Amino acid sequence: MLVTVTAATLFAAVTFPSAATQTAGLYSSKQAAAGATAYAQNCARCHGANLEGVSAPPLRGSDFTSVPGGGSKLTVHDIFKYMTSLMPAGNPGSLTHDQYAAVMAFILKENGNAAGSKALSYSAAMSSTAPIRK
């Protein structure tokens, strides 16, 4: 069963942080590379090889990072919690904590967020109020 949900529906009641919060350095380049592999194996069929969206919404660009009508940015926590709870479609929760964190690192990289020297942990992603920028 394929469920289509818009960002507006998912995040209508979410409180967003100030734009001053930064995502730079939340993940490592090595982790993003591992995330690209996990993404290709588990996400690309629906979200597209280039995160452009196929049968599911895109995971890059302003259509992905902004809440419609509000000008706010989705946070790492918002996306990560949704992803770990409901993705991949048809087999939610099936990735390891490290794989989910790596996919989040890949998504951050593809949305123009700079890498740092330390890998993003599952718990850090789950609690991060940093907005995803593009």
**CATH assignment at residue 108:** 1.10.760.10
Question: Would residue 23 count as lying in a domain?
Answer: no
Question: Would residue 123 count as lying in a domain?
Answer: yes
Which residues, in sequence order, are CB contacts of 12 under 8 Å at separation 6+? Answer: none
Average pLDDT value for residue range 29-54 = 97
Quick: pLDDT tens for 63-72.
787 766 666 6
State the pLDDT at residue 51. 96
Q: Distance (Å, rounded) from C-alpha 130 to C-alpha 50?
A: 23
Residue 9's pLDDT band (cuts 50, 70, 90): very low
- The per-residue pLDDT of the chain, averaged, comes to 85
Question: Would residue 62 count as lying in a domain?
Answer: yes
Domain with 83, as residue range(s), is 40-134
For residue 49, what are its two tokens? 């090889």
Question: Would residue 130 count as lying in a domain?
Answer: yes
Beta carbons of 59 and 74 less than 8 angstroms apart: no
> Residue 120: is its pLDDT beyond 80?
yes
> Residue 79: is its pLDDT beyond 80?
yes
State the pLDDT at residue 62. 78
Question: Would residue 11 count as lying in a domain?
Answer: no
Number of domains the chain contains: 1
> Residue 127: is its pLDDT beyond 50?
yes
> Residue 10: is its pLDDT beyond 50?
no
